[in-house]
Amino acid sequence: MRLSVNVDHVATLRNARGGRFPCPVEAARACLAAGADGITIHLREDRRHIRDEDARRMAAEPGLRLNFEMAATEEMVRIALSLAPAACCLVPEKRAELTTEGGLDVKGAGPYLAEAVRQLAGAGIEVSLFVEPDPAQIDAVAALGAQAIELHTGTYADAAPEARAPLLARLRAAAEHASRLGLACHAGHGLDYGSVVGIAAIPQVEEVSIGHFLIGASVFEGLPGAVSRMRAAIATGRSETGH
């Protein structure tokens, strides 16, 4: 299973003083050197953390698999087409939100979403949609012609460990449903060293994106150490599946 490190909150720290340190691109290099398989960045409409120049430099970084998270707006589609990342993940976005609060309502979306998928996939970008573990939403993703889903793991990750079993079962069922439809399955949001183990034990999940917790953990154990420890947690989960 691939680990894609989301470096949004390296930019949050940098922006706190309006300077150039710490640099998200340098953080990305450190994550890759420590064993991360890719980097995720979320260029939000309000540019609260990742800025356009960060995205441009990250896309130009040799050997870096970039997962570009974005709202399905004309502006972001235009930027994504200019950056040509390996992958784009379409996510819901509200200015007032502290962080992403849930998955896209793909079933109820207007034609703008299908148009974004068409343009991005047409440019050879792997398109995933960030959704709840809801078979009806996953069916709607398949109908749009996207290649992948990213399951929102926040409800599961935020739950007390003793309350996670039914939430993990729902994620597992959703991953199996996506696989039956030929969709690649990714997962992310709110994961830490403990909760990622359960996600890694779902064989259909090919990639996890982890950011806030890992960047926070790096304050105490360094970025390479946090990446290594996260990869070990993933390996523990994976070993439970024999994959």
Ligand X SMILES: CC(=O)[C@@H](O)[C@H](O)COP(=O)(O)O
- Cα–Cα distances (Å) from 218 to 57, 214, 222, in that order, read 23, 6, 4
Euclidean distance between CA atoms 103 and 153, whole angstroms: 10
- Record the tokens describing residue 154, joined without a space: 């926040």
Decide: 137 and 170 in contact? Cβ < 8 Å. Answer: no
The yes-or-no answer on residue 221 being catalytic is no
Instruction: Say whether 189 is catalytic.
Output: yes
x/- letters, 148..177, toward ligand LD2JLWAY (CB under 6 A): --x---------------------------
d(CA 84, CA 102): 26
In the complex, what is the shortest distance from the CB of residue 239 to ligand X, in angstroms, rounded to a whole number?
26
147 lies in the binding site for ligand LD2JLWAY (CB under 6 A):
no
Q: Which CB sits closer to ligand X, 69 or 177?
A: 69
Query: What is the C-alpha separation between 151 and 133, in angstroms, rounded?
Result: 6
Cis ω for the linkage preceding 22 (within 30 of 0): yes
Closest separation between CB of residue 130 and ligand X, Å?
5
Name the minimum Å distance from CB 242 to ligand LD2JLWAY: 26
Give yes or no for a contact between 152 and 92, defined as CB atoms under 8 angstroms apart. Answer: no
Is residue 44 part of an annotated ligand binding site?
yes
Distance CA 241, CA 206 (A): 13
* Min separation Cβ 215 and ligand LD2JLWAY, Å: 8
Establish if 231 lies at the interface with ligand LD2JLWAY (CB under 6 A).
no
Residue type, 149: I
Active-site pick, 177, 186, 189, 207? 189
Residues that bind ligand LD2JLWAY (CB under 6 A): 6, 40, 150, 188-191, 209-213
Q: Which residues are annotated as a binding site?
A: 6, 8-9, 17, 44, 49, 99, 190, 211-212
**Catalytic sites, residue numbers:** 42, 69, 189
